[in-house]
Amino acid sequence: MPTENPQKEFTKNIWELSIPVLALDVVIFTIYKGELCIVTINTTPGVTNDHLMRLPGGILRSGEWLDVAFDRILLTKTGLSNIYKEQLITIGTPERDSRGHVVSIVYYALVDSQILLASLDLTRAHLVSIGDVLSSDIMAYDHADIVKYARQRLEWKMEYTNISQNILPARFTLSRLQEVYEIIFGHAFDKRNFRKKFLSTGMLHETDELDRESSNRPAKLYEFSDKELKITQLL
């Protein structure tokens, strides 16, 4: 008779082998209500404290490509698909999971909040601010440390690439662009210098559209000139 839950049976058999298990976890960044946030999911009952949260993740299957595993885990754990990702780090500390030795390949991903909220399965996933993650013990395993490192990597990458386009809507005002940088870096930038620097790189393209949602005078909307990852000195 076939098992009622093949994935659960597969996971159970993996732990019984008493060998290192290869997993994949992802830190999904977005900006929501003026804060840098990540996507979390509930921990598995009985594995750790039930009130804790963890990063979306799962065990790689035999013969599975990493990109395929990422897409599968992202969709099944959060309901999301087709978002920007980068491989971040591999962690293999033997004691990091009470069930056994888990080696985790960690990614970080970026997504605009409107796209995220349109697809996120809120029955399985939650949005949590970075401040709450780093100032309280709400994350299981070593996931708070992973989030901290991922945020630092994101800041570094934003200093010299156009990666911020993946956390912005397709078209945006210069004020919104600056706001995103200030939220992620945690401090203000001089408005004139910020705009001068970005416009001088040639990374931005001025569109023919205006921001009609603003209560003030409509501002020009911009978009990134190149959708591929480009390197230039921004900050």
Query: pLDDT tens digit string along 178-234?
Result: 999 999 999 999 999 999 999 999 999 999 999 887 667 789 999 999 988 888 888
Strands 35-42 and 84-91: unpaired
Token reading at 15: 């732990």
Residues in contact with 23: Cβ distance below 8 Å, sequence separation at least 6, in sequence order: 57, 58, 59, 60, 102, 103, 104, 105
Q: Which of 164, 160, 146 is nearest to 102 (CA)?
A: 146
Count the neighbouring beta carbons within 10 Å of the beta carbon of residue 132.
Answer: 15
Which residues, in sequence order, are bridge partners of residue 37? 30, 129
CA distance 50 to 34: 29
Query: What was the pLDDT predicted at 1?
Result: 45
CA distance 18 to 140: 22
Residues in contact with 18: Cβ distance below 8 Å, sequence separation at least 6, in sequence order: 100
Amino acid at 22: L
> Does residue 12 register a pLDDT over 60?
no
**Per-domain boundaries in the chain:** 6-151, 161-224
Banded pLDDT at 6 (limits 50, 70, 90):
low
CATH topology of domain 6-151: Nucleoside Triphosphate Pyrophosphohydrolase (3.90.79)
Q: Identify the CATH class of 161-224.
A: mainly alpha
Alpha helix ranges (H) inside the chain:
6-16, 66-78, 113-119, 130-135, 143-160, 174-185, 191-200
Query: What was the pLDDT predicted at 94?
Result: 87
